[in-house]
Structure 1
Amino acid sequence: MKSVFRCLALVGAVAVTAIPATAIAQEIAVIVKTTSSNFWQNVNRGAQAGVETLDGYTMSFDGPASESDIAAQVNMVDNAINRGVAGLVLAPSDPEALVPSVQRAYESGIPVVIIDSALAQGAEDYYQAFLSTDNNAAGQLMAQTMINAVGPEGQIAIMSYVPGVGSEIGRVGGFTDYIEANSNIEIVNTLYSQSQMATALNQTTDTLSAYPELDGIFGANEPTAVGMGRAIVQAGREGSLVALGFDGNEDLQQFVRDGVLEAIAVQGSFQMGEMGVQTIAKLLAGEEVEEFINTGVVLVTKNNIDSEQAQNVLY
């Protein structure tokens, strides 16, 4: 477990914790990978719900126009530190590039909670908690689902998003390792959309053309899976191959209902935002928190999409 006192003691700022949370309005900054995705907007809704349960706090929400605009996210974090936010909830777009800014927050006595994607190994001392899907386990779950549907042999493709991002490393790494260890399925390629739907659509179209006998395909995040699904429909390939997606916006839900996608793995995005700001408040109150908090994943298929469990995470 970690406490914010570990951070504050380093810089001699323990007196900050003596201010009751209700004494002044304090800003909790939530900075995500991009504001142009339904997934991150659902994180925003969760954060808003979370801050409403807290006395004396406000919440700001920000992120770049694109997940690949790492420099913009670094600037947003630095600006939050400069204006003296009470705490920071951050979904880092790059595991390395955000470390200096998070270290600076640490040295400024600002508690940091990381959500969704991990920072580089060695940065653990600079933040107090990590809230995320267990992406490796989620990737393995989707690989097991693929094997169950395709069989022990065949050809599949992986449509990934931003190489090197913590969630991508765990999710696609877990998927790939499980496929290789538990089947004779060949992974014919792994392509990166940079989380751009149009790019994923074009990449999937090219893949379907290059591999007309493809047995399965995995879209590893929301915009990638949406582009993949649209390409499958345009090629008339729905039902002729096993397509799996990740995340759960309205487009992906409809693909499941229509049989374009066999299943989607849906993260607790709302929970990341809600629990993220609440964890910051606990740290500011001097409470201990778990270093890793699993926000979970639900495998959604046509058979369970209307269940309470699925509806609680779909957005």
Structure 2
Amino acid sequence: MRKVAVIPAVLLTVLCTLNGCKKEEVEKVIEPLVADIQTAETSQEAQEEEDPVIPEIDASVEIQPGARIAVVSKSTSGSYWSLVRQGMEQAVEDVNEAYGFGKDEQITMTFEGASDEKDVSSQVNTLDAVIAENPDVLCISASDTNSLQAQLESAKENGIPVVAFDSSVSDSKMVRAFRGTDNKRVGEIAAYRLAVAIGKMGKVAVFSAQEKTQSIQERVEGFTSYMENYPDIDVVEIVYQDQVDDMTAAMQEVLEKNPQLEGVFCTNADISDLYLDMPKDETQDPVVMVGVDATAKQQEAIRNSKEVGVVSQQPYAIGYQTIWTALLTTAPNKSVEITRNLRIDPAWIDASNIDDPANSAYLYSN
């Protein structure tokens, strides 16, 4: 980062000398440039690191043999959730092997959830049933940050520790730890990349999954806040899937209302794929798209220049981290220090790096 700081410092000096203006005025001019450079370098540094997010299983840590972990996911459908589950199952397998647990001591896991992320009532009912079975640890990804309070209180009363993953709850005191993505960063990277792609001026829209989830709230906040660096870009619409009857029709309406729309940000895999499947007016200039989660459909769109790029997560690592953290909560009291919040950096994937083996963990198979 030291080299980056030199550029704006020199630019500031030159502009002040040539224009005779105040330092504060010039700082306003170059602030977006500084932010752009820092974002680009930070993203590059994150991608250059070796994958540090799959923890080593330390069999010297005392955990509860035969622990039963109940996972209630926001959804069970889609490639993202499939990879989360794979990471969880692999963690269970690795722990059993590392500890040499016999048949009666094996760690076990159940994975349940609605088929639709928007189905909050189904998640509530599933949680009620799961808690009644008194698992040793409960792992949840909340469809609604505010709708699970009664279930969390029930878990607490029954001595069941809770680990949140992907999307947490509004009352963070009710969970022992959180494992997920830095979702504000997702929004910031998307804003930067979209701004650069459209020449840092024009109208853009946000097509989003449900507003009730923490992950989406943070992505939209990160995106809109970062776009404030670009006074010539106007965010004209933010459409949430849980606030319309038909998301495809709602997106079409935005495009029709804004024929000069330059770009769109789709906040998760489902919305990104839905937008790509949507019929477009071929007589209009194509709208620049930035998506989230590198599904097979989005990878194809990037290769075919239908999508400028995608901000992608590591769901497998999130799943793996969640299970290992859940097992750490079964250790004797205060014998293990548990990191409360672990947020894994997302990565920017575009045509220039989609085939880089270093990014394979960010690419989804379907």
TM-score bracket for the superposition, by shorter chain length: 0.7 to 0.9
1:59 aligns with 2:105: no
1:112 aligns with 2:158: no
Q: Distance in 2 between matches of 1:167 and 1:195?
A: 17
3-state DSSP of counterpart to 2:316: helix
Q: Distance in 2 between matches of 1:144 and 1:237?
A: 28
**Gap change, CA 1:301 and 1:200, over 3 Å in 2:** farther
Q: Distance in 2 between matches of 1:29 and 1:183?
A: 47
- Asked if 1 retains the 8 angstrom alpha-carbon contact of 2:69 and 2:110, the reply is yes
Q: Counterparts in 2 of 1:157-306, with a 5 A limit?
A: 157-194=205-242, 199-231=246-278, 234-236=280-282, 240-286=286-332, 287-306=336-355
Post-superposition offset of 1:20: 5.7
- 1:290 corresponds to which letter in structure 2? T
1:47 aligns with 2:88: yes
Post-superposition offset of 1:85: 0.8
Q: Distance in 2 between matches of 1:309 and 1:238?
A: 37
1:144 aligns with 2:192: yes
Q: Distance in 2 between matches of 1:220 and 1:237?
A: 26
Q: Distance in 1 between matches of 2:71 and 2:269?
A: 20
Please, which runs of 5 or more residues in structure 1 have no aligned partner?
A: 1-18
Residue in structure 1 matching 2:203, options 155, 179, 188: 155
Counterpart residue number, 2:64:
21
3-state DSSP of counterpart to 1:303: coil
Q: Distance in 2 between matches of 1:82 and 1:166?
A: 26
- 1:136 corresponds to which letter in structure 2? K
Q: Distance in 2 between matches of 1:282 and 1:234?
A: 50
Please, which runs of 5 or more residues in structure 2 have no aligned partner?
A: 1-61, 97-105
Structure 1 runs of 4+ aligned residues shifted over 4 Å read none
- Asked if 1 retains the 8 angstrom alpha-carbon contact of 2:311 and 2:346, the reply is yes
- Asked if 2 retains the 8 angstrom alpha-carbon contact of 1:33 and 1:64, the reply is yes
**Gap change, CA 1:237 and 1:303, over 3 Å in 2:** farther
Q: Counterparts in 2 of 1:85-124, with a 5 A limit?
A: 85-120=135-170, 123-124=171-172
Post-superposition offset of 1:295: 2.1
% identical aligned pairs: 27
Post-superposition offset of 1:281: 0.8
**Gap change, CA 1:92 and 1:309, over 3 Å in 2:** same
- Asked if 1 retains the 8 angstrom alpha-carbon contact of 2:203 and 2:262, the reply is yes
Post-superposition offset of 1:199: 3.9
3-state DSSP of counterpart to 1:260: coil
Post-superposition offset of 1:276: 0.4
Between Structure 1 and Structure 2, the one with more strand by share is 1
- Asked if 2 retains the 8 angstrom alpha-carbon contact of 1:200 and 1:228, the reply is no
Counterpart residue number, 1:9:
none
3-state DSSP of counterpart to 1:41: helix
The alignment's TM-score, normalised by the length of structure 1, stands at 0.87
Post-superposition offset of 1:288: 1.8
Post-superposition offset of 1:239: 7.3
- Asked if 2 retains the 8 angstrom alpha-carbon contact of 1:28 and 1:89, the reply is yes
Post-superposition offset of 1:173: 0.9
3-state DSSP of counterpart to 2:81: helix
Post-superposition offset of 1:118: 2.4
- Asked if 2 retains the 8 angstrom alpha-carbon contact of 1:242 and 1:262, the reply is yes
Post-superposition offset of 1:26: 2.8
Q: Distance in 1 between matches of 2:130 and 2:256?
A: 47
- 1:125 corresponds to which letter in structure 2? K
The structure having more radius of gyration, on CA atoms, is 2
Q: Distance in 2 between matches of 1:249 and 1:195?
A: 25
Q: Distance in 2 between matches of 1:49 and 1:297?
A: 21
Q: State the Cα deviation string for residues 196-244 of structure 1 (Å, max 9, x = none).
A: 9x9443322222222222110110011111111222x643389722100
- Asked if 1 retains the 8 angstrom alpha-carbon contact of 2:185 and 2:345, the reply is no
Counterpart residue number, 1:6:
none
- 2:76 corresponds to which letter in structure 1? T
**Gap change, CA 1:307 and 1:200, over 3 Å in 2:** farther
The alignment's TM-score, normalised by the length of structure 2, stands at 0.75
More deviation, 82-91/177-186: 177-186
Counterpart residue number, 1:307:
356
Q: Distance in 2 between matches of 1:38 and 1:238?
A: 32
